[in-house]
A and B are shown apart, each in its own frame.
Chain A
């Protein structure tokens, strides 16, 4: 048996939550540290895993004039940090009838004319906890390149931090959301095999097979299950099974 890994003793460090001092274990995230200190979240907490954007937090380090930002569920506490939770940052969102859109850049310009107020200060990019190149996607949209904007903004979790720091007062993440939807629906080819499959199902192609399975007893189901032909992990797109029952 290998020797045990030595247990790590948690060292306590002081942090300032909205100006008040608390001692918390040094290895915790800001979110867990605040809970440790006795806070109970209502707002400002969602996934606890860095994907929902609910927990934007703003902090300073001692003797450092800079404002730092991050996600409370992802950022580890530092000694003497001063921190504040941001309730959600208000930003204007346009409403539109998506089915009426077609993916022309002008449609974005019309819905979000403030796009052209961007002064290219790059504050948004610096503040983004997801390392999204925010200014770049805004710049891409100004050029009318929706596809590029959709790709660059893909990891955006809509935390609102970029909007909170924007000189031009843009709601960047709302604009990016529209860009991604336009890209997904209108600028990327739709899947042909999907259309075919839906049509085949509607035409009743699999109804009989499924009916038989549904009526099968457990024994028979188990037999069929065990005998399934498995698509090999390394198979290419064009792989076809030898057995073609119900294809």
Chain B
């Protein structure tokens, strides 16, 4: 849907202040950054600080930890499978390393495990590569330019972004392994944007002190994902991929070590048993929980399944009290609602502008501060732009980029978004975009060490499902990095474990029996089941007509 006349009128106000803002940008006159104290103050406008948005967990290893209701609902649910119905003596697949999740972290883990000599199975919910990794646009951080940058500055930036609460060992690994990860991807044929002599292009991201964001045009994640997926497909003799078959429960053995998983074929509704010597959990994030009713940038399968399974098996969760809202998600047109507008637009010079055409925040504040400023501008100060669908938004003034860097820059540098808006009749090199914060990233997750290992022997964690690297707030470009760094580490560690330490022979779902009992004893309604697997977008009027269908959480069942 193109902009209606009312919005076109409001755009005129943006246009009236544009030339002057461009001039200031050219002279490097920016809205000053907030001090650490001012940032803290601003964060009171952030959804994380709404105490009514969360509650203490009633069960499990992190009992009493206050996190979002939507996450509690899943962690306080009983298993989808009835342990009594499952015959664990019938094993359908056996492998050295089982990787759960076929996104960036999972695929990197599989590649490294294979290189260490393991037979690998990747079990994934949708297609291999249908994952948040595929959607990442902006870039991947790494200190690769020694004349101005080093892991030292990267470390400081990561800690500052995370409010100095990050786990230091994890951050250290992240920043020191970063350049090697880029080198690895380059050798696999990933097309990063480069100068003719091979020097990598790098730009700033929110909260970076040096330009260290590497990118592949505006589809960095897709380029990385399709490269490593292609590589995994070449190793077909050792890496088997089972698609549309999410894991729904981990299997432990008689010693309490992780030893496989129960898979669910979503199409035939069969359950399968995989026995493995070690398991890498790489199921990604949870945007599709729509925490606090926010729209999301995440892919269809981002429903926190790995957290549910890992938590039941005994791994505590951490940093889940914070959630990352990306400052700039599309809020109009409605068809594209929630879709991410990369930070690179701001990095390239586009201002955030309110209804009066005024810039109200420096565009390179850390994400949570930036998001809080936008929410404050809309709700606190009433300076938002009302959209035809009854929401609020702020202008992201993309036409400035062409004025700063030459006509055609927007179309050339942001081809994906340019085409997307063009389909809706909007030319973003001429008109600004309407944005609002959108649920983007799960800052926290399962607790793990810098070797990828968790409290449960044999269970490794990599990627967005893990917590600690980014503290309470992740900076742009550090997630694509973390999934590669820790994906590779988890793959290696899991293989070594499989070879040297795995022992025990009997598969067991005892931990699920215990967990279900704990849930029942906490007096939680029996209706809730998890993992969720897919979000539920059936309209209430349709549901009302589905007489024979009963909903168990988001799962339709006939029982």
- Nearest chain B CB to A185 CB, angstrom units: 4
B186 partner, pick from A1, A184, A206, A229, beta carbons under 8 A: A184
Report Cα–Cα, A192/B190, bound state, in Å. 16
- Nearest chain A CB to B415 CB, angstrom units: 6
- Nearest chain B CB to A29 CB, angstrom units: 5
Contacts of A186 in B (CB 8 A): 189
CB atoms of B388 and A5 under 8 A apart: yes
A194 partner, pick from B127, B186, B195, B333, beta carbons under 8 A: B186
Contacts of B36 in A (CB 8 A): 222, 226
B308 within 8 A of partner (CB): no
CB atoms of B266 and A42 under 8 A apart: yes
Contacts of A188 in B (CB 8 A): 191, 194, 198
CB atoms of A52 and B151 under 8 A apart: no
Contacts of A201 in B (CB 8 A): 151, 176, 179-180
Q: Closest residue to A93 on the B side, CB-wise?
A: B233
Q: Pick the interface stretch among A58-66, A119-127, A134-142, A152-160.
A: A152-160
A190 and B186 contact, Cβ closer than 8 Å, known pairs A150-B191, A213-B156: yes
Contacts of A40 in B (CB 8 A): 534, 536-538, 556
- Nearest chain A CB to B391 CB, angstrom units: 10
Report Cα–Cα, A1/B378, bound state, in Å. 12
B376 within 8 A of partner (CB): no
Can you list, as one digit per residue, whether each of B217-248 has a CB less than 8 Å from chain A (1) or not (0)?
Answer: 10100110011001101101000000010000
Q: Pick the interface stretch among A13-21, A78-86, A236-244.
A: A236-244
Report Cα–Cα, A35/B190, bound state, in Å. 36
Considering the complex, which residues of chain A in the window 179-202 have a beta carbon less than 8 Å from any beta carbon of chain B?
A: 180-186, 188-198, 200-201
CB atoms of B189 and A183 under 8 A apart: yes
CB atoms of A230 and B10 under 8 A apart: no
Size of B's binding interface in residues, CB under 8 A: 107
Considering the complex, which residues of chain A in the window 1-41 have a beta carbon less than 8 Å from any beta carbon of chain B?
A: 1-2, 4-8, 27-29, 32, 35-38, 40-41
CB atoms of A5 and B28 under 8 A apart: no
CB atoms of A95 and B388 under 8 A apart: no
CB atoms of A27 and B219 under 8 A apart: no
B382 within 8 A of partner (CB): yes
B4 partner, pick from A5, A52, A96, beta carbons under 8 A: A5
A193 and B199 contact, Cβ closer than 8 Å, known pairs A42-B266, A42-B267, A198-B180: yes
Considering the complex, which residues of chain B in the window 379-405 have a beta carbon less than 8 Å from any beta carbon of chain A?
A: 382, 385-390
Contacts of A155 in B (CB 8 A): 219, 415-416
B419 within 8 A of partner (CB): yes
A91 within 8 A of partner (CB): no
Q: From A40, A226, A229, name the one whose CB has the most chain B CB atoms within 10 angstroms.
A: A40
B445 within 8 A of partner (CB): no
Considering the complex, which residues of chain A in the window 140-181 have a beta carbon less than 8 Å from any beta carbon of chain B?
A: 150, 154-155, 157-158, 177-178, 180-181
Size of A's binding interface in residues, CB under 8 A: 94
Report Cα–Cα, A183/B146, bound state, in Å. 26
CB atoms of A240 and B226 under 8 A apart: no
Can you list, as one digit per residue, whether each of B120-142 has a CB less than 8 Å from chain A (1) or not (0)?
Answer: 00000011011000110000000
- Nearest chain A CB to B510 CB, angstrom units: 31
A43 and B244 contact, Cβ closer than 8 Å, known pairs A5-B386, A27-B1, A98-B189: yes
Considering the complex, which residues of chain A in the window 78-113 have a beta carbon less than 8 Å from any beta carbon of chain B?
A: 88, 93, 95-98
CB atoms of B187 and A185 under 8 A apart: yes
CB atoms of A194 and B144 under 8 A apart: yes
B182 partner, pick from A37, A194, A205, beta carbons under 8 A: A194
Contacts of B129 in A (CB 8 A): 52
Report Cα–Cα, A131/B150, bound state, in Å. 40
Q: Closest residue to A29 on the B side, CB-wise?
A: B335
Contacts of A51 in B (CB 8 A): 134-135, 219, 222, 416
CB atoms of A88 and B152 under 8 A apart: no
CB atoms of A38 and B542 under 8 A apart: yes
CB atoms of A41 and B300 under 8 A apart: yes
Q: Pick the interface stretch among B73-81, B203-211, B275-283.
A: B203-211
CB atoms of A96 and B194 under 8 A apart: no
CB atoms of A194 and B179 under 8 A apart: yes
Main SS class of interface, A: loop
CB atoms of A231 and B335 under 8 A apart: no
Main SS class of interface, B: loop
Contacts of B155 in A (CB 8 A): 210, 213
Q: Closest residue to B177 on the A side, CB-wise?
A: A201
B183 within 8 A of partner (CB): yes
- Nearest chain B CB to A184 CB, angstrom units: 4
A232 and B6 contact, Cβ closer than 8 Å, known pairs A47-B134, A197-B143, A213-B155: no
B189 partner, pick from A93, A185, A214, A225, beta carbons under 8 A: A185
Report Cα–Cα, A181/B335, bound state, in Å. 34
A45 and B419 contact, Cβ closer than 8 Å, known pairs A184-B227, A193-B200, A224-B156: no
B423 within 8 A of partner (CB): yes
Report Cα–Cα, A97/B1, bound state, in Å. 47
B19 within 8 A of partner (CB): no
Report Cα–Cα, A230/B205, bound state, in Å. 12
A74 and B244 contact, Cβ closer than 8 Å, known pairs A184-B227, A188-B194, A191-B200: no
B531 within 8 A of partner (CB): no
CB atoms of A193 and B145 under 8 A apart: yes
B548 within 8 A of partner (CB): no
Report Cα–Cα, A205/B143, bound state, in Å. 13
A32 and B28 contact, Cβ closer than 8 Å, known pairs A45-B300, A213-B152: no
Contacts of A194 in B (CB 8 A): 144, 179, 182-183, 186, 200
CB atoms of B226 and A47 under 8 A apart: no
Q: Closest residue to A247 on the B side, CB-wise?
A: B150
Contacts of B387 in A (CB 8 A): 5
CB atoms of A221 and B156 under 8 A apart: yes
Q: From B151, B160, B169, B267, name the one whose CB has the most chain A CB atoms within 10 angstroms.
A: B151
B86 within 8 A of partner (CB): no
B90 within 8 A of partner (CB): no
Contacts of A54 in B (CB 8 A): 126-127, 130
Contacts of A4 in B (CB 8 A): 386
A95 and B234 contact, Cβ closer than 8 Å, known pairs A40-B534, A52-B130, A247-B147: yes
B153 within 8 A of partner (CB): yes
CB atoms of B226 and A177 under 8 A apart: yes
CB atoms of B150 and A36 under 8 A apart: no
CB atoms of A38 and B546 under 8 A apart: yes
B407 within 8 A of partner (CB): no
Q: Closest residue to A195 on the B side, CB-wise?
A: B183
Contacts of B192 in A (CB 8 A): 184
CB atoms of A206 and B148 under 8 A apart: no
Q: Closest residue to A48 on the B side, CB-wise?
A: B300
CB atoms of B209 and A229 under 8 A apart: yes
Q: From A88, A201, A205, A235, name the one whose CB has the most chain B CB atoms within 10 angstroms.
A: A201
Report Cα–Cα, A75/B195, bound state, in Å. 36
Q: List 7 A-B contacts (CB under 8 A).
A: A27-B334, A98-B189, A185-B187, A189-B194, A194-B144, A213-B159, A237-B199
A-B interface, 8 closest residue pairs, ranked by CB to CB distance from nearest:
A181-B189, A189-B198, A46-B130, A246-B152, A185-B189, A184-B189, A38-B542, A184-B191
Contacts beyond the supplied A5-B385, A181-B189: 15 A-B pairs with Cβ under 8 Å: A6-B6, A7-B389, A7-B390, A41-B300, A47-B299, A51-B135, A74-B335, A181-B188, A185-B188, A190-B187, A210-B152, A210-B172, A221-B159, A240-B147, A241-B148
